[in-house]
Amino acid sequence: MVHGKGDFDLEGLPYLAEDTPAAAVPRLRAVAALSEASAALHADHAARLATLL
């Protein structure tokens, strides 16, 4: 992915950290962690649903 202002993905977090005020970096890392947890939960739910169908 080409990174520019406003782009966000988990791989882009180090790029954002270079461009972002230091105070915001911990919040960005927390958002990234929540995003990963959410994706894992959705994948688990999809797998469980697939076993029911």
**Who contacts 12 (Cβ-Cβ below 8 Å, separation ≥6)?**
1, 3
20 vs 44: CA distance, rounded Å: 33
Assess contact for 1 and 13: CB atoms under 8 A: no
Residue 2 lies in a domain: no
Q: Which residue is associated with the tokens 């988990």?
A: 10
Assess contact for 34 and 10: CB atoms under 8 A: no
Domain count within the chain: 1
37 vs 39: CA distance, rounded Å: 5
Domain that holds residue 23: 10-52
Residue 4 lies in a domain: no
Residue 35 lies in a domain: yes
User: From first to last of its 53 residues, what are the pLDDT tens digits of the chain?
Assistant: 444 455 555 555 555 556 667 777 788 888 888 998 999 999 999 999 999 88
